[in-house]
Structure 1
Amino acid sequence: MKKPIVTLLLGAAFLTACGSGGSPAPPSATPAPSSSDQGSIAWAACTDLVGADGRPATPGPGIECAKLPVPLDYAEPDGEKIDLALIRVKATGERLGSLVFNFGGPGASGVDTLATASAAFAKLGTRYDLVSFDPRGVDRSAGVRCGDTMGKLLAAGHGADQDKLATEFAAACEKDSGKVLPHVGTVNAAKDLDQMRVALGDDKLNYLGFSYGTHLGAVYATHFPKNVGRFVLDSAFDPTVTFEERAVIQAGGFDAAFEAFAADCVAQSCEIGASPANVEKNVLDLLEQLKTKPIKVSERELTYGLAQHAVITPLYAKQSWPVLEQSVAAARKGDGTMLLALADAYTGRRADGTYNTSMSSLMAINCADNSERPTAADVERMDAKIRKIFPILSVDGSFPACAHWPVPGDDEAKRIDATGSAPIVVVGGKGDPATPYEWATELTDQLKTGILVTYEGEGHGAYLSGSQCVMGLVDAYLLDAELPGTGATCPA
């Protein structure tokens, strides 16, 4: 559901006791209004959903889609428009309004994610229309497309001319999506959120953001503090750290997650090692072998870079740890099918061999949100630090992210200050590998109106971790405007 702020392929970091306290003024609770009272969006049947397996999907009951035109360039609000793709799951009970989701990335399709994951939010769906969208530059919303170069980058084996591939990739992005590239940053996406709020007919924006979605929510609250309704930011991202700082911090987070996985694996008769240290050695040995001898999988190959993506993916949730054990065990026996499937899921490869825009959109949005342009020397220095912490994440041989990007970035999205907003609940997990707990504490401070909830367990995304405590606190705020108490903590 969520991607890390680190982009392994591109060789530089980017970017994801229970109690209650007082209550802010809640949004108006009214009987379910007619569709004309719920905003100006023309909802209709969804026609192009894609499932988690990369195949076309059929929408479930109560699911509708729509398009919302917004300015391509907010400096020219009456100029050219682009369409944002929206999805809605209608409230099943007395309606409070809309609850808008961003599931992370940047670059994840909120349309496809909500369509496949709406059951996980069924309780919230009793009172809210559940709404999500493809942010600008993503998939159906003027998605950043770069020819077939993403597939080439992902398939390239260790030792390939990454700089040449990167140059071709950037040129293809400019050729296919040059019009939208200067306008895909998070500040513009936040302005889109306010356009959505108005079109949905809501006085305040109610919002649940995960991973990168916490950054988008924080930027929205900075620019539109008076329009903040009930906001929850889960797996918080700190936008103030540099690329290198992010990479080093996340390397520590994934190292801790891998150690926890390895210890758990050994405690249950691990197939890939007799001790935690042995598990890590065997995984590193497998990756090293793939540098020179990729594993054939039908007409494709499991390369070193793809295997890196695959190994990292199950570390996002403890529930996925058995998949990592099974996949590595099979690959050590010469069968790379499971690892390749994990890599495909991470990189957005569809069943027909094409890719969605998740990886190219991630690159475009991150480069738009930063003025930094790391050099090859910067990446080499960063990689030396990562190797000492968690060598599985080594970016050796990769090109500097954003180095060849055709448009400049800026740092406006790094400024966070929601002074004057309603309280914003920030959830941070102590065992989160992609958006470490310290980022949750930092974002809470930056917001000025943040209230921190600490989850003591593993995984990226505390609300969907299985913690009834976290879910209870979040639901109580979103449904009943009951704020978590100061220092609220949920056990693993």
Structure 2
Amino acid sequence: MPNPPRLRAAALTAAALLLASALAACGDDDSGDRDLTAQKLTWRDCPAPSQAQGGGGSPSPLPDDGTWQCAKMKAPRDWDEPEGDTIDIELIRVRTTAPEDRRIGSLIFNFGGPGGSGVTTLPAFGSSYETLRTRYDLVSFDPRGVGRSAPVWCEDDQQLDAYFQQDASPDDAAERTEFLDSTKEFNSACEKNSGAMLPHVSTTEAARDLELMRQVLGDDRLHYFGISYGTELGGVYAHLFPEKVGRAVFDAVVDPTQNPEQGSLAQAKGFQLALGNFAEDCVSRVEDCPIGDTAEDVENRIAKLLKDLDSKPIKGIFPRELTQATATSGILQALYSKDLWPYLTEGLEQAYDGDGSTLMLLSDALNGRSENGEYNNSTAANVSINCADDKPRYTPAFVEDRLPEFRAASELFGDPLAWSLLSCTDWPVAGAADHPDVSAPGAAPILVVGNTGDPATPYEGARKMAQALGDGVGVEMTYRGEGHGAYESDNKCVRDAVNGYLLDGKVPTAGTVCS
């Protein structure tokens, strides 16, 4: 499912993706006979994250001598020409606490985006997976085009500031022209700065990297934990290599049957649902809700704020102002997790008094901007991967025709999510398909966990994924909760089911419900 660049869903990675120093794409001319499956990884202490990865310090150790190690795996730049040039895929791991006779193998994580750096995200959330470390080495990676894995780059920091502040829901012909010009300029910058990689960042090629990774790590089967877009990547892998699927969990599940238009419309409904749940939660508390007397009042005041910001931005983080677009993305970021709802309440309360700084901080987290004004490459990677995957190329006339349905789905989010469908219109590389093929007959059971309150990957996608994987493969499970994903909610029922499958091979009963 596409995550619109101006409203990009950074999934669980936003807080971990800050910036440091710039990194160019890496590639080697390794043409000639070689067997990449026989390569030996050189594990080393992990360096501080690069600018493309989000910056910050080197990852802190976990308990029990849990030292993080990094390595580079060589993969073909173009899997259709496996003897041609190679790129480096950056990996990170922490070894299991188990003795060798209890070790299952490696458990590989992808945290979504697309465009999120697994090398920075796994350590940021590493303590959440300590139970799984009792039998697995925990492993993640930067997918091709992301972070330190031949990163794609588009616009510079100053250009991205303007890109994200610009009106993402044009109201008239002049604003529409400005929006279309901005999108075309962004896509042209991608071609100029990363043209050689753009044809080679598809999910299919990333899935082939996963298969190479399995072999290089020495595992008979791929044990996998995919979150958000990571479920799509896992589904494509299962389709290509069903006999190599080990124990796998899909959490915050992408609907693989939807085209980009259907996916964006579902997200409009999902975020509107989450906004309503946020409003209900605020007014249900014992103390007065500071941003509205009723849930309807909360939503109406937010709608009025966004309407007012369209013509009159307010103070943000100097020298930037909070515009309608940045306020909208800040609200979206907060709806990803119930833990962020108090910050959304605070940010809205401040904004009503003319201070947009907290909403802008949330917006910056979603868009991958650090406090020093540098952006990681998650936006460039997000657009590049989506446009490599998605075949449809929509027109302004198509979007205008669909606006009424998007607005019916969400007064607040419908317009920008509809206009985001134009992100790939002028893209220099053709997209692969209307939607991914994840059918995987013969694969081992895959646990598919859907969250009823998930805004970015709505609950219905879990059932569609389980059905598309095939009978006896997709095992659907429901979590009745809020936020993007279920395992990170710390719900004991969810944790026990996921841990029981990954650690002991106990497949939950299909249709299990946790609340």
Report the counterpart of residue 148 of structure 2 in structure 1.
Answer: 140
Q: What letter matches 2:381 in structure 1? A: S
- Per the alignment, in what secondary structure is the counterpart of residue 484 of structure 2? coil
Query: Aligned match of 1:383 in 403, 413, 431?
Result: 403
| 1:372 is the counterpart of 2:392 | yes
Q: Where does structure 1 lack aligned partners over 5 or more consecutive residues?
A: 17-37
Q: Where does structure 2 lack aligned partners over 5 or more consecutive residues?
A: 13-37, 62-66
Query: How far is 1:136 from its partner?
Result: 0.6
Query: Aligned match of 1:211 in 203, 209, 228?
Result: 228
Q: What letter matches 1:7 in structure 2? A: P
Percent identity reads 44
Query: Aligned match of 1:443 in 445, 456, 465?
Result: 465
| 1:175 is the counterpart of 2:187 | no
Report the counterpart of residue 453 of structure 1 in structure 2.
Answer: 477
Query: How far is 1:486 from its partner?
Result: 2.6
The total of aligned residue pairs comes to: 466
Report the counterpart of residue 56 of structure 2 in structure 1.
Answer: 56
Q: What letter matches 1:402 in structure 2? A: C
- Per the alignment, in what secondary structure is the counterpart of residue 479 of structure 2? strand
In structure 2, C-alpha distance between the alignment counterparts of 1:132 and 1:298, rounded to whole Å: 36
TM-score for both structures, normalised by structure 2: 0.86
Query: Aligned match of 2:122 in 114, 118, 126?
Result: 114
- Per the alignment, in what secondary structure is the counterpart of residue 415 of structure 2? coil
| Structure 1 residues 5 and 398: alpha-carbon distance in aligned structure 2, compared to 1, 3 A threshold | closer
In structure 1, C-alpha distance between the alignment counterparts of 2:246 and 2:145, rounded to whole Å: 26
Query: How far is 1:316 from its partner?
Result: 1.5
| 1:271 is the counterpart of 2:290 | yes
Q: What letter matches 1:281 in structure 2? A: N
In structure 2, C-alpha distance between the alignment counterparts of 1:15 and 1:321, rounded to whole Å: 16
TM-score for both structures, normalised by structure 1: 0.90
- Per the alignment, in what secondary structure is the counterpart of residue 395 of structure 1? helix
Higher relative contact order (CA 8 A, sep 6+): 1
Q: What letter matches 1:252 in structure 2? A: K
Query: Aligned match of 1:9 in 6, 9, 12?
Result: 6
Report the counterpart of residue 401 of structure 1 in structure 2.
Answer: 423
Alignment of 1:86-485 (within 5 A): 86-94=91-99, 95-148=103-156, 149-157=159-167, 161-268=178-285, 269-296=288-315, 297-395=317-415, 398=419, 400-411=422-433, 414-448=436-470, 449-485=473-509
Report the counterpart of residue 22 of structure 1 in structure 2.
Answer: none
Query: How far is 1:431 from its partner?
Result: 1.4
Q: What letter matches 1:80 in structure 2? A: D
Q: What letter matches 1:378 in structure 2? A: F
Report the counterpart of residue 23 of structure 1 in structure 2.
Answer: none
Is this contact kept in 1: 2:268–2:414, CA < 8 A?
Answer: no
| 1:68 is the counterpart of 2:76 | no
Single out whichever of 38-47 and 468-477 deviates more from structure 2: 38-47
Is this contact kept in 2: 1:244–1:382, CA < 8 A?
Answer: no
- Per the alignment, in what secondary structure is the counterpart of residue 9 of structure 1? helix
Q: Provide, for residues 387-414 of structure 1, a one-character-per-residue CA deviation record: whole Å limited to 9, x for no partner.
A: 2221211335946120111111111861
What do you get for the CA RMSD once the two structures are aligned?
2.3
Is this contact kept in 1: 2:91–2:142, CA < 8 A?
Answer: yes
Single out whichever of 371-380 and 212-221 deviates more from structure 2: 371-380
In structure 2, C-alpha distance between the alignment counterparts of 1:412 and 1:373, rounded to whole Å: 10
- Per the alignment, in what secondary structure is the counterpart of residue 464 of structure 1? helix
Is this contact kept in 1: 2:2–2:260, CA < 8 A?
Answer: no
- Per the alignment, in what secondary structure is the counterpart of residue 424 of structure 2? coil
| Structure 1 residues 413 and 260: alpha-carbon distance in aligned structure 2, compared to 1, 3 A threshold | closer
- Per the alignment, in what secondary structure is the counterpart of residue 106 of structure 2? strand
Is this contact kept in 2: 1:186–1:413, CA < 8 A?
Answer: no
In structure 2, C-alpha distance between the alignment counterparts of 1:435 and 1:257, rounded to whole Å: 11
Q: Provide, for residues 282-333 of structure 1, a one-character-per-residue CA deviation record: whole Å limited to 9, x for no partner.
A: 1111111111121222211111111111001111122221111111111111
| Structure 1 residues 302 and 323: alpha-carbon distance in aligned structure 2, compared to 1, 3 A threshold | same
Is this contact kept in 1: 2:269–2:410, CA < 8 A?
Answer: yes
Report the counterpart of residue 21 of structure 1 in structure 2.
Answer: none
Is this contact kept in 1: 2:3–2:382, CA < 8 A?
Answer: no
| Structure 1 residues 39 and 474: alpha-carbon distance in aligned structure 2, compared to 1, 3 A threshold | farther
Is this contact kept in 1: 2:68–2:92, CA < 8 A?
Answer: yes
Single out whichever of 100-109 and 283-292 deviates more from structure 2: 283-292
- Per the alignment, in what secondary structure is the counterpart of residue 392 of structure 2? coil
In structure 2, C-alpha distance between the alignment counterparts of 1:258 and 1:67, rounded to whole Å: 41
In structure 2, C-alpha distance between the alignment counterparts of 1:154 and 1:406, rounded to whole Å: 22
Is this contact kept in 2: 1:97–1:127, CA < 8 A?
Answer: yes
Q: Provide, for residues 46-87 of structure 1, a one-character-per-residue CA deviation record: whole Å limited to 9, x for no partner.
A: 113279x95512222210111111001011101011111111
Query: Aligned match of 1:79 in 80, 84, 95?
Result: 84
| Structure 1 residues 184 and 479: alpha-carbon distance in aligned structure 2, compared to 1, 3 A threshold | same
Query: How far is 1:119 from its partner?
Result: 0.7
Is this contact kept in 1: 2:229–2:254, CA < 8 A?
Answer: yes
In structure 2, C-alpha distance between the alignment counterparts of 1:107 and 1:262, rounded to whole Å: 30
In structure 1, C-alpha distance between the alignment counterparts of 2:374 and 2:342, rounded to whole Å: 28
Single out whichever of 206-215 and 255-264 deviates more from structure 2: 255-264
| Structure 1 residues 329 and 5: alpha-carbon distance in aligned structure 2, compared to 1, 3 A threshold | farther
Is this contact kept in 1: 2:76–2:82, CA < 8 A?
Answer: yes
Report the counterpart of residue 27 of structure 2 in structure 1.
Answer: none
In structure 1, C-alpha distance between the alignment counterparts of 2:132 and 2:155, rounded to whole Å: 39
Task: Find runs of 4+ consecutive structure 1 residues off by over 4 angstroms.
Answer: 13-16, 157-160, 396-399
- Per the alignment, in what secondary structure is the counterpart of residue 88 of structure 1? strand
Q: What letter matches 1:294 in structure 2? A: P
Single out whichever of 100-109 and 248-257 deviates more from structure 2: 248-257
Query: How far is 1:207 from its partner?
Result: 0.3
Query: How far is 1:240 from its partner?
Result: 2.1
Q: Provide, for residues 21-54 of structure 1, a one-character-per-residue CA deviation record: whole Å limited to 9, x for no partner.
A: xxxxxxxxxxxxxxxxx98211101113279x95
Query: How far is 1:417 from its partner?
Result: 0.9
Query: How far is 1:438 from its partner?
Result: 1.2
